[in-house]
Amino acid sequence: MSCRTLLVMAGVVSLAACADNPAAPRDDTSREIAPTAGRDAGVAVLGTLTRRTESGLVLMQQGFEFEGAADPRVRSARYQPSIGRIGDDLAIVVDGSTEIYLNGRRASSLGGVPLGTKLVVAGPTRDGSIKAAVISDLASTRSSTVAATVSPPSRGELEAASAVDAPIEPAQVVSLCIGQNMDYTHPRIHEFHGCYGGPSVSDRIAVPDIPIGCGVIGCWFVDEVSYTVALGGWIFDWPFRFGASTPGLTYHIPGPVAFSLTALSALGTAFTFTGGLGVDVGVDLELCNPFGCFDAGTQHLNILTTAHQTTGAGPLRPDQELQIGEVACPSIGIIPVDLPVDPVSLGICEDLALLGEPFQAVVQAHGASGQIGGIGSIFDFEGPDDTRTIRPDSTFVVVTYREFSWTPTLTVGIYFKIDLVGGINLWTSPTIPISTGPFAPVSTPYPNEFGFTLATDPENLAAFLHQPTLDTVAVFEVAPAPTTLTVISPPVLEQGMPVQVRLTESFDGSRIADAEIRFTATSSGGAVLVAFDTTDGSGIAETILPNGEHDVLVEYAGSPVYLPSSATQHVFVYLPTTFVIWGGNAGGVAVGGRYNFWGSQWHKQVTGGDFTANASFKGYAHTVIDDAWIAGGGNSTRPPDELGELIGVIVSTVITRHEEVTTGNVTGRVLLRVENLQSYGPSPGHSGFGIMLGVIPPSPSEQLQAASRAMR
C-alpha cells in the first residue's frame, strides 16, 4: 500500500471519527454548562492568499504534502489534508466571529496581509467553502531549537550560543494532529492534544453484537472494533481536570485557595495515546452462555505492524510511569516444529513508556494579591492540590489557568517474545533500552470547539499557530471584611474642636478611606444633631458639635467589601475661659460642687488656704502665662459678654495682691455647667455660678510645658 493511499485513508477516517465523539459523564460536584450540540468536526487547510472577496478570502489549496524544514534539527514531517483538488481555489468565509492571528498576535482584520501570504484556515465546511473559525499566518522570525523556559537566558548565555551555532530559520510548516476529541462538556476538563511524527489515527467503534459462531461453551459475538492507522507517528489526547477551591475568602484577609490539576483516563471509545507503524484492526470478542456474557478480550489483526494504545492518565510525578501497551508486534520468524502449520512465532516488539513530569501552568487569581497575585505564578502540578494564600482585593476572585506545558520523559526499547498461534505467550525477553528523552511533540492545550487540533513544532518557537490558552476555572465570592470604628478624640473638647473617629479593618488595622460616617449627637436637652463626613486617607472623619453635653453615636453603614460598624461616646463641648474658682478650701474642689466663678461676692467662697487678695478680685484673669495668671482690680478687666452652657475655668490655691495687681497659680482646669446663663453678665453685679462636671485633662502642649518645668 503506497504512502499516499495511507494518507488518504487516514484523512478520511480521521474526519469521520472526529464528527462522532463520545461525551464524558456529568460531574455533579460543581456548576455545569450545557453540553454543546454536535458539530461538523471541521478541517484545517493550508493555502496561499490569491484574492479577497466580499465574504472573505480565496486561497489556492495546498494538498497532501510533507514540507521540510531548512535545518535538519527541526522535525520536518507535517501533514496537511486538502479539500478538493490541489491547486484549486477554496473560498473562505470570514465574519466577526473569526479569530485572526498575525505575527503571533490577535488582529482585528486581514486588511494588511499581502497577496501571496501562506495562511492556515480552520473551521467547518459549508457548501464547498470553509467558515473560518481561526485564521493565522505562519510568522517567520528567527529562533533557536531550544524550547521555551520560565526565565530568559542571560546575555552571556546568548553570546555563548551564538558563538557555537547560528540561529535556525523556522520552517513554514503547520501540523494537523488528526484524531478524535473526547469532547468533555464540563468546563473544567480540558484535553491536551498533540501528535508526533507521521500521521496517525485511531478509534474504537461500538457495534451491535455480531454473532460469529457457537460452540460447546457458548456463542461468540463481536461487540467492538478498534483500529489504528499510522505512518510512524503517534497521537495523544490527555484529559486534565483543572480546579480551584476555598473554604471561604474575606476581603483583605489572607485565605487559602487549593489549586488542582488531575490527570484523567480516557472515557468512552477514545485512547489517550495511540500510533505506531502500519494498520492494526482489533476485534473485541464476547462469549455468551446460560451463565451470562463475558468479555473475551481483543484479537488484533495485522501484518508487519507495530502499534500502541493506552487509555491511561498522563503521569504527573517523577515516580510515576505509564506503560503504553503494544497491541501489535511484527513477526520476524517462525520456529519450525515439524507440524503442518508452524504454531510458534518469534516477534519483535517496541516498548514505550512515559515517565512522569509535572504539568506546568500559569495560575492567576484576578482580584487578589499575595503569592499568586499580579501577573500570576507558575505552578508545577504533581498531584491534585497545591494550596496557596491570597489576599482578596475585590468582591470576586477569578482563578485562571494559562500557558500550559507538559513534557514527560519517553523511554523506547525493544524486546522479543515467542507466541503460540492465537496469541498465547510462551516467553518474553527483557527490554533492551534504545533511547530516553523528553517527549516534546507538537501539541495544543485547547482544541477549538469544532473538534480539530492545530499545532506547530514547539522546538521551533516561531513556526506557530497561536491559540488562546486562557481559561477561567473558578469564581469565588468574597465576603465583606469586619471593620472597627473608634472615637479617637477625647470626651472633653474645647468649643470648635471636632469629634474625630477612625475607621479601620479589624484584621490588621488598615485605614479605610472614602467611607461615609454618620454622626448623631443627642444633647442633654434632647436636641438631635445629624452630620456626615467622609474618611480621609488616614481613615479619619470628623464633625464639630455645639457647646453642651452630648451622647454621640457614630455609624458606618458598610459597603460591598466592608461590614458595618459603630461606636458611642459621651462628649462635653465647653467654652474655654480664664474665670477662676478657689480650690484652696479644705477638700479642694469636687465633681458636683457648686462654685462661684464671677461676681462682686467672689471672695466670700474663700474659707481657707493661701489667699491674700481682697474683694477687688471678681474672678476673672485677663492674662495667663504657663501656670500663673494676672488680673486687675474691680471692673478693670471685662469678661466675655456671653457664655456657653459648659465652660472651662481655672482652679487656684494661691492668690495674692500687690498694689493694684492680683496674681494666682493654676493648679488645673475644671468643667462647669453654668447654673443660669440668663443671670450672667459682664458686670460684677451679675454673678456666675456653675456645677463642676469634671476635670479637664491638660492639652498636649500643657503637658509638655509641665514636663519642661519639672526638669528645670
User: Would you list the domain boundaries of the chain?
Assistant: 3-475, 483-573, 574-711
Predicted confidence at residue 60, as pLDDT, reads: 85
Residue 514: other Cβ atoms inside 10 A? 10
Contact present, 542 and 554 (Cβ < 8 Å): no
DSSP 182-197: ----STTEEEEEEEEE
User: How many residues are listed for the chain in this entry?
Assistant: 712
pLDDT of residue 171: 33
Q: Is 16 helix (H, G, I), strand (E, B) or coil?
A: helix
Instruction: Please give the Cα distance from 139 to 255 (Å, whole number).
Output: 44
Split the chain (712 residues) into runs of 10 and give each run's mean pLDDT: 29 27 26 29 70 90 45 34 61 88 77 84 76 72 25 32 32 45 65 71 78 82 84 82 92 93 84 88 86 80 85 93 89 62 76 92 85 67 85 91 82 89 81 89 49 41 36 88 97 96 97 97 94 97 97 97 97 96 94 94 92 91 92 78 95 92 94 93 92 88 64 62
The CATH number of the domain covering residues in 483-573? 2.60.40.10
User: 572, 549 in Cβ contact below 8 A?
Assistant: yes
Q: Find, among 202, 201, 207, the residue nearest to 225 by Cα.
A: 207
HSE-CB for 153 with a 13 A CA cutoff: 12
Long-range contacts of 701-709 (CB under 8 A, 24+ apart): 705/626, 706/627, 709/626, 709/627
Q: What is the pTM of this model?
A: 0.66
pLDDT score at 134: 79
Tell me, what's the pLDDT at 561? 95
* Pick from 285, 296, 284, 281: nearest CA to 328: 281
Residue ranges of alpha helices (H) inside 466-594 are none
CA 409 to chain centre: 30
pLDDT of residue 579: 96
Q: Supply the DSSP string of 340-382, one letter for each residue.
A: SS--EEEEEEEEEEEE---EEEEEEEETEEETT-TT-EEEEES
State how far Cα 610 lies from the chain centre.
77
**Cα–Cα dist 143/668, whole Å:** 84
pLDDT the model gives residue 330: 84
β 425-428/409-420 pair status: antiparallel
- What is the per-residue pLDDT for 621? 94
